[in-house]
Amino acid sequence: MEFFRNPNIDFLGYKWYFIAFSLIFSVAGVCSMLFWHGIPLGIEFRGGTLVEIKFTHAPNDNAIRAAMDRAGLHQAQIVPYGQAANNERLVDLSLQETSEQALDEGKARIIAALESNPAADKADFNNASSLAVANYLLDKDPLHAGTDANQRYTAQAQAIVGYRDKVGGGVLSSFDQLKGAADPAVVAALPDGFYLSDFGVKSASIVGPQVGQQLRGQALRAVGFSLLGMLVYLAFRFEWIYGVAAVITVFHDTLITVGAFSLTNKDISLTVVAAILTLVGYSNNDTIVVFDRIRENLKLMRREKLSDIVNRSINQTLSRTVLTAGLTFLTVLALFLFGGEVLHDFSFALVIGILIGTYSSIAIAAPILVAYQDWRVERNKRPVIGPGAGGAGKRPGNKASGPGSSPVPDKGAKTSVSR
């Protein structure tokens, strides 16, 4: 099976389309970053409080907001999270509301604010720890346990809380659901000490201003230095212009991906940063494959114009580019479609990144080389790229590049055979 046999597409001929395409998306992204959504940073970077809450029924956002207001937590943003049927909300409090007290009390403050009708002297089961349940059971002793009471009730409490979290998704609407998960006598004893609120906290992030700032600075520094490392290595292996082209390409990809996050107003969290680093690696990999072929062809086709060599190199690697991109895309698409809510933003970044990364190695990186060469020629300077420029990388020696081993495919010659 083969998708492309001897493709011969004049990629450089489409360069104005490429430039237009890249400009539209970059400018749209930058405009959104400047004038619309800004760069929506995740809670880890901007600081603040973010709590994910699952309700037993479709929640009323206004009631939540009012409850938070009463607790002194103003300007809470209530955002639906995941599929509507999950009844989940994100409660987002700005950094101003994240005082030192909030860092100490953590999610307890938000839980207390949301308790709509707490029963006197009873604890909220949906937000109780297994330790609290075990302590209650020890006190109540529904099994009339003897010396091993501590152990038995701890196990029962863990089974109960485990059922609530793993099977119930974090919240129960009736104690009857626990039948079968624990001893009936234990389940029957629960309503005396616990009531069921209509929500449970699935995750909570409380980040002080200092940490967010440190993390921002550190992530930027790390990425900056790693790009520099990449540039230096490519300059050493190829020519410096290859390194520059690769870095510009990676910058282009990152800009468009971050722009997509800004346009869709999705938060750039730490995991999204990891996804962006992945796309940088991927795009860079793609670019080097094309560059490598250009370098090889420069030695073989000494008389041809650089633009022809670049075109041929892209065509020769096209089959591999499409295959690799397609397969990686397949993996990432699976993650995007089946990976669940937590992986959603992460895989969104990868889906966009792989499309853009593949496109850019063809449409941005290689044309930069040609444009640079043209610019040098216009100014009557010695061409830097090409056989006369020297400094090309190492070849596999005498094994290849003999007179009969021209990598230019002979049209019509079909030698690939299947068993």
Contacts (CB under 8 A) with another protein, residues 371-410: 393-396, 399-400, 404-407, 409-410
Stretch that binds another protein, among 28-36, 255-263, 339-347, 381-389 (CB under 8 A): 339-347
For another protein, the closer CB: 188 or 232: 232
Applying the rule CB under 8 A, the residues between 89 and 128 that interact with another protein are 100, 103-108
Counting contacts by CB under 8 A, is residue 334 touching another protein?
Answer: yes
Query: How many chain residues bind another protein (CB under 8 A)?
Result: 112
Judged by CB under 8 A, the residue of 11, 199, 346, 359 near another protein is: 346
The interface region with another protein, picked from 142-150, 254-262, 341-349, 376-384 by CB under 8 A, is: 341-349
Q: How far is CA 58 from CA 126, 169, 237, 242, in A?
A: 16, 15, 59, 55
| Contacts of another protein in 281-300 (CB under 8 A) | 281-282, 284-285, 288-289, 291-293, 296
**For residues 32 and 313, which CB has a smaller minimum distance to another protein in the complex?**
313
Please identify, among the stretches 33-41, 72-80, 312-320, 361-369, the one whose residues bind another protein according to the rule CB under 8 A. Answer: 312-320
Q: Residue 354: CA atoms inside 13 Å, Cβ hemisphere, count?
A: 20
Interface with another protein in residues 194-223 (CB under 8 A): 200-208, 210-211, 214-215, 218-219, 221-223
Interface with another protein (CB under 8 A), residue from 33, 234, 310, 314: 234
Residue nearer to another protein on the CB measure, 291 or 359? 291
User: Which lies closer to another protein via its Cβ, residue 37 or residue 401?
Assistant: 401
Residue 7 makes contact with another protein by CB under 8 A: no
Binding residues for another protein restricted to 245-264, rule: CB under 8 A: none
The verdict on 135 binding another protein (CB under 8 A) reads: yes
CB of 179 to another protein, least distance (A): 20
By C-beta, is 62 or 418 nearer to another protein? 418
Interface with another protein, residue 169, by CB under 8 A: yes
Q: Please, what is the minimum distance in Å from the beta carbon of residue 36 to another protein?
A: 28
Q: Does 26 contact another protein by CB under 8 A?
A: no
Query: Does residue number 274 form part of the binding site for another protein (CB under 8 A)?
Result: yes
Smallest distance, another protein to C-beta of residue 390, A? 18
- Let me know how long the chain is: 419
- Choice between 121 and 410, CB closer to another protein: 410
CB neighbours of residue 209 within 10 Å = 13
In whole angstroms, what is the distance from residue 69 CA to residue 92 CA? 13
Q: How does strand 199-207 pair with strand 123-124?
A: unpaired
Residue 271 found at the interface with another protein (CB under 8 A): yes
